[in-house]
């Protein structure tokens, strides 16, 4: 129908140029797009279903696990002090692999290396619970992800993926979350895509879920091939998004529609 | 089912059009010719069915009302990323509507309107959607037939 190499290149360039990044002062958490009754669920620990995972995570934190018979608490002590601010720095550069890893991967790497326990599957109740418990200790802390200069090339890759149109619907993240965040997709508010509250409880899921789960759902929504859990592309996208939200307060465990 | 039937019945038309330059990527799609900002001829050679077209427009899987709103009082959730479809048939001719559905990116490379009848130039399409247009030629003709009736 046409020579698509050149046109694709032109589209990609146009996509990148057309995207307008959100000025710092106009950044908004997904929370601010929610109705008051949904906000109220997040605001009250006794109403927030995400707190059930946090409580499970607290129990797991103290439970001995793996060949070393060690609990997280045996090395890290009281999470309220040792884990404060940690989730606000993830994904972070991992020296062992030379790549960024997200909080779930950090927990699993700690399990493998220090507890000699089997890694927990992505989206398993236990991994979500531990992640939620650790992230909860940073509630209200400003996001600092991306400060390490070793992360720069990975942030750039994440940004490239964010800008790139893909899937049968041929859309990039930026087309909605930079250019149309004040609009509605069918009945749903399009947010700015700042991942301030993960892991979070989605009413649609009736469960807590990770940022990777949310990204995979969005990628499937544009009818593109979703990346596998733990894929470098997903971690780079998480990294770019967290860096883009730098300075915004962490809300985990947040509630979203 | 409509998708399968167009694939089989399109061979003769596609075969003729393949002889023309620049059409190699469209082996599974029916050929069409663009005149200005319109595709004047029906993709199927027949007129679509406006009643089926309306049903398609309001069906979520067609994706129209995710972004567009329109005269669909029974639909609670409609989008506002794109123009209201009311008055489409007054603003655009049948051929203009057809091109805007088939491949709106020909008119504006930066548009967020997907190309509903195009296979080339797409990246990382999910396995279940790969090598299929979003809508079949028949579905596009049905939707065009409906949109031209929206005079107000």
- β-strands A200-202, A207-209: how paired? antiparallel
- Select from B18, B61, B119, B30 the least CA-distant residue to A170: B119
Is B66 part of any domain?
Answer: yes
Is B92 part of any domain?
Answer: yes
Is A10 part of any domain?
Answer: no
Give the CATH number of the domain where residue B131 resides.
1.10.760.10
Give the CATH number of the domain where residue A214 resides.
1.10.760.10
Interface residues of chain A, partner chain B, Cβ below 8 Å: 1-4, 7-8, 10-11, 14-15, 18, 164-171, 175-176, 179-180, 183-188, 190, 220, 223-226
Mean pLDDT across B101-121:
97
> Would you state the pLDDT for residue B132?
96
pLDDT 10s digits, A69-84? 999 999 999 999 999 9
Residues making up chain A, counted from first to last: 257
Is B59 part of any domain?
Answer: yes
Is B130 part of any domain?
Answer: yes
- Select from A156, A195, A160, A153 the least CA-distant residue to A174: A160
Domain of A115, in residue numbers = 28-257
Is B97 part of any domain?
Answer: yes
As a whole-number percent, the residues of chain A with pLDDT over 90 amount to 91
Q: Whole-angstrom Cα distance, residue A94 to residue A231?
A: 15
User: How many folded domains does chain A comprise?
Assistant: 1
For B28, the closest chain A residue by CA position comes to A1
Is A13 part of any domain?
Answer: no
> Would you state the pLDDT for residue B1?
35
Residues of A in contact with B116 (CB under 8 A): none
Whether the pLDDT of residue A138 is over 70: the answer is yes
Is A3 part of any domain?
Answer: no
The mean of the pLDDT values for chain A is 93
> Would you state the pLDDT for residue B89?
98
Domain of B117, in residue numbers = 34-147
Is B23 part of any domain?
Answer: no
- When computed from its CA atoms, the radius of gyration of chain A, rounded to whole angstroms, is 19
pLDDT 10s digits, B125-146? 999 999 999 999 999 999 999 9
Consult the annotation and say whether A223 binds a ligand.
no
Whether the pLDDT of residue A4 is over 60: the answer is no
Is B72 part of any domain?
Answer: yes
Consult the annotation and say whether A72 binds a ligand.
yes
User: How many folded domains does chain B comprise?
Assistant: 1
As a whole-number percent, the residues of chain B with pLDDT over 70 amount to 82
């Amino acid at each position: 129908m046409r020579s698509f190499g050149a046109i694709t290149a032109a589209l990609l360039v146009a996509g990148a140029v057309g995207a307008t990044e959100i000025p710092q002062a106009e950044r908004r958490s997904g929370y601010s797009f929610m109705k008051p009754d949904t906000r109220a669920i997040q605001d009250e620990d006794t109403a927030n279903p995400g707190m059930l995972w946090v409580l499970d995570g607290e129990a797991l934190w103290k439970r001995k696990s793996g060949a070393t018979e060690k609990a997280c608490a045996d090395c890290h002590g009281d999470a309220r002090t040792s884990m404060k601010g940690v989730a606000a720095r993830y994904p972070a550069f991992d020296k062992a692999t030379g790549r960024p890893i997200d909080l779930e991967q950090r927990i699993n790497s700690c399990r493998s290396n220090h507890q000699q326990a089997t890694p927990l599957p992505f989206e398993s109740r236990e991994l979500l619970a531990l992640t939620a418990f650790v992230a909860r200790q940073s509630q209200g802390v400003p996001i600092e992800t991306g400060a390490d200069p070793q992360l720069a090339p990975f942030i750039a890759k994440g940004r490239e993926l964010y800008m790139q149109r893909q899937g049968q619907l041929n859309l990039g993240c930026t087309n909605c979350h930079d250019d149309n965040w004040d609009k509605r997709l069918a009945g749903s508010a399009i947010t700015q895509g700042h991942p301030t509250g993960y892991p979070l409880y989605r009413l649609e899921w009736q469960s807590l879920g990770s940022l990777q789960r949310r990204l995979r759902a969005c990628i499937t929504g544009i009818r593109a091939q979703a990346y596998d859990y733990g894929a470098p592309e997903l971690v780079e996208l998480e990294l770019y998004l967290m860096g883009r939200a730098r300075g915004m307060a962490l809300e985990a465990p947040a509630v979203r529609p | 089912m409509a998708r399968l039937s167009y694939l089989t019945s399109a061979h003769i038309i596609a075969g003729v059009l393949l002889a023309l330059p620049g059409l190699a990527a469209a082996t599974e799609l029916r050929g069409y010719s663009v005149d200005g900002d319109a595709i004047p001829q029906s993709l199927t050679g027949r007129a679509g069915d406006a009643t089926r077209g309306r049903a398609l427009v309001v069906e979520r899987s067609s994706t129209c009302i995710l972004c567009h709103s329109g005269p669909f009082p029974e639909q609670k959730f409609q989008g506002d990323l794109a123009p209201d479809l009311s008055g489409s048939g007054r603003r655009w001719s049948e051929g203009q509507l057809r091109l805007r559905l088939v491949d709106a990116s020909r008119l504006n490379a930066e548009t967020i309107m997907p190309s509903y009848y195009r296979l080339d130039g797409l990246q990382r399409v999910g396995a279940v959607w790969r090598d299929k247009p979003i809508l079949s030629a028949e579905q596009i003709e049905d939707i065009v037939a409906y949109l031209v009736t929206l005079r107000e």
